[in-house]
Amino acid sequence: MANERILIIGAGGQIGVELTLALRKLYGTDNVVATDIREEHPLLKGGPFRHLNAMDAFGMLEIVKKEKITQIYHLAALLSATGEKDPKRAWDINMQSLLQVLDLGVQEKLNKIYWPSSIAVFGKTTPKQETPQQTVIEPLTVYGISKYAGELWCQYYYNRWGLDVRSLRYPGLISWKSEPGGGTTDYAVEIYHEALKHKKYTSFLDKGTYLPMMYMDDAIRGTIELMEAPSEKLQTRMSYNISAMSFAPEEIAASIQKTIPDFEISYAPDFRQEIANGWPQSIDDTASREQWGWKHAFDLDSMTREMLTNLGKK
Ligand code: SER
């Protein structure tokens, strides 16, 4: 483990910040090189950081060689809501950057690659409850299309060149250290900020919109556990379903009211409602639990306590 040299692409994003911090603890700060197209995130200061546009193949190769990188976590992407505003751009960024990373993995003989997929791969023809690992997959957003195509490419590089690529289909992720950006599930983060600031929140998803969700601590631990699992245990080289909880906006509001009794929620659904309507309400993650030991720790109320306490201090 000590010899690994890790490159994070998109380290300043919602997942990137916390994953970089966790990997630095595990592998040593100097062995985890954070990169992002944006300014260095304040929480990442004190460790190696390089500016990198995920579309810059040459820049990526240069960093991999110079830093003697052995593993890449490629997290940069346009998410579901942002993607719908400029579908071609979302496709270009999400696909080109992934293919570059996969090619680099083969060419430079990297040990492992991590790339996130999403519940957005599923569409309206997929069973909505307890969505199975293998099922009908007809994504409706460009983000979902790029994630599903990406899963197939990951599997292809594994089969064809033995590249050890691993992936999780994250549900909506909720965190307080780093901000989300451009997702359909972001309401479940905004609501905590607004509850503390104004004791009210207008949700862009309607009452009754159930979606699978997860607290960031669980997502980070799951990611690292998947990456450390023995290769022979992993029976799919598509992406794994992973789940923790499911709730609708009125349920997260009720959970917040246990701490802030006068908190009020109202609803003004926008274009993101249609995206959410195409996604599953709950996920069957038996394959993850059986093959590499996945187990979530946080439910809605324990997550709410953590979110309100930590954001309150912040
Ligand atoms: N949280 C993501 C989104 O809403 C789902 O992968 O786009």
Residues 22 and 76 reside in one and the same domain: yes
Mutate to test the pocket of ligand 1, among 93, 118, 204 (most ligand atoms within 8 A of CB): 118
In a domain, 231, yes or no: yes
**Ligand 1 contact, 183 CB (< 6 A):** yes
Residues 179 and 150 reside in one and the same domain: no
Residues 13 and 36 reside in one and the same domain: yes
Phi, psi of 32 (to 5 degrees): -120, 105
Residues 86 and 20 reside in one and the same domain: yes
Residues 152 and 183 reside in one and the same domain: no
What are the residue numbers of the active site?
143
Do the beta carbons of residue 102 and residue 39 sit within 8 Å?
no
Mutate to test the pocket of ligand 1, among 79, 82, 216 (most ligand atoms within 8 A of CB): 79
Nearest C-alpha neighbor of 216 from the set 120, 296, 119, 147: 296
For 146-185, the pLDDT digits (tens) are 999 999 999 999 999 999 999 999 999 999 999 898 999 9
Distance (Å) from CA 107 to ligand 1 centroid: 31
Closest ligand 1 atom to the C-alpha of 172?
Answer: 1
Distance (Å) from CA 185 to ligand 1 centroid: 6
What CATH number did the domain enclosing 308 receive?
3.90.25.10
3-class SS of residue 269:
coil
| Number of domains present in the structure of the chain | 2
Distance (Å) from CA 182 to ligand 1 centroid: 8
Q: What is the pLDDT of residue 59?
A: 98
In a domain, 221, yes or no: yes
- Would you give the DSSP letter of residue 233? G
Do the beta carbons of residue 13 and residue 181 sit within 8 Å?
yes
In a domain, 1, yes or no: no
What CATH number did the domain enclosing 77 receive?
3.40.50.720
Distance (Å) from CA 46 to ligand 1 centroid: 30
Phi, psi of 244 (to 5 degrees): -135, -55
For 124-149, the pLDDT digits (tens) are 999 999 999 999 999 999 999 999 99
Residues 117 and 29 reside in one and the same domain: yes
Residues 248 and 234 reside in one and the same domain: no
Mean pLDDT, consecutive 10-residue stretches, the chain (314 aa), reads 88 97 97 97 96 97 98 97 96 98 98 98 97 97 98 98 98 95 95 98 98 98 98 96 98 98 98 97 98 98 98 92
**Ligand 1 contact, 79 CB (< 6 A):** yes
Q: What is the pLDDT of residue 1?
A: 54
Last residue of a domain, one of 241, 259, 294: 241
Q: What's the domain range around 60?
A: 6-171+215-241
Residues 105 and 221 reside in one and the same domain: yes
